[in-house]
Amino acid sequence: MAVRTVDEKKLRYMEYLHRETGDRHHTNLEDMRQYELLRVGSPETVDEAVRIFSSDLPGHVSDDPVRNCKYLFVSAITMACRTAMAAGMEAERAYNSSDLFILRMDQLSTVEEVRSLHREMFEFYLREVQTAKKKRPYPKPIIQCMDYIYEHLHERITVRDLAEYTGLSESYLSVLFKKETGNAISEYIMGRRIEAAENMLKFSDYSYAEIGMILAFSSQSHFIHAFKTHTGLTPKEYRDRFYELF
């Protein structure tokens, strides 16, 4: 009889240990902040990524410290590569760079070396994103809106909220946002919620109801309908196909 890698008894025991020791993983929103900063080309990207990677919370996937660090590096570069492409980096360049970084990582023998390479990797992708964005920079109010939306994905967001935050009228901000991004504000917000939901389905074990609640959907049925409209898959179908948690 095959031994299950993950069974309910093992899972409950790990939850018990983490409760007793006070250990936990980063929340999904904490973890994804570094990639959202990268997506918008923020100078804060590298410091945030290093903080997350160097903390005691990123995850335990091997009893060997170096191997554990390498596994987490691969997870981080996978997300950084995809984020950079979404932000405008040419896909082939992004993938080839990822391969080179992983080949280099494979040669390293200490945690300190892997952490140093992790910083170098984020610095590289940040430069690439910033270069891509210089080709068509967004006006400051649009960047402010994008930042606000990311920071408040777990809340209801209105055009009035964004107008007050940027100091513009609702009507002018709506027209400007559509002109600059090609999307209405409501469409952009929904797109970011769906992206966050995709990441939570792939990289966390939150239930569909929990994800919908965390991302401020009005109901589980609303979340499922919106998700399928945008991706062509139900949340269950998406998780079954793309789940990548170690």
Pairwise pLDDT comparison (168 vs 150), residue with the higher score: 168
Mark which of 134, 167, 194 sits at the end of a domain: 134
d(CA 130, CA 215) in angstroms, rounded, equals: 28
d(CA 95, CA 227) in angstroms, rounded, equals: 27
Q: What is the CA radius of gyration of the chain?
A: 19
Would residue 231 count as lying in a domain? yes
d(CA 156, CA 65) in angstroms, rounded, equals: 41
Q: What is the mean pLDDT of residues 19-30?
A: 49
Q: 203-221 pLDDT, tens per residue?
A: 788 899 999 999 999 999 9
* Domain count along the chain: 2
Pair 80, 41 in one domain = yes
Pair 108, 144 in one domain = no
Mark which of 134, 154, 175 sits at the end of a domain: 134
Mark which of 134, 160, 185 sits at the end of a domain: 134
pLDDT grade for 162, boundaries at 50, 70 and 90: very high
Q: 124-133 pLDDT, tens per residue?
A: 999 999 998 8
Worst-scoring range by mean pLDDT, 15-29, 39-53, 56-70, 134-148? 15-29
Task: State the pLDDT at residue 44.
Answer: 92
Mean pLDDT of the chain: 85
Pair 171, 77 in one domain = no
Domain of 73, in residue numbers: 25-134
- In the structure encoding, which two tokens stand for residue 17, read together? 């240990």
Task: State the pLDDT at residue 27.
Answer: 52
Say whether pLDDT at 12 is over 60.
Answer: no
pLDDT grade for 143, boundaries at 50, 70 and 90: confident
| Torsion angle defined by CA atoms of residues 122, 123, 127 and 132, in that order, rounded to the nearest 10 degrees | 0
Pair 157, 235 in one domain = yes
Would residue 16 count as lying in a domain? no
Pair 74, 129 in one domain = yes
Give the Å distances, CA to CA, from 93 to 4, 99, 111, 118: 39, 10, 27, 18
Q: 45-95 pLDDT, tens per residue?
A: 999 999 999 876 556 778 899 999 999 999 999 999 999 988 888 888 898
Pair 121, 79 in one domain = yes
Name the pTM for this structure: 0.55
Identify the CATH number of the domain in which residue 180 sits. Answer: 1.10.10.60
Give the Å distances, CA to CA, from 25 to 11, 78, 124: 14, 19, 26
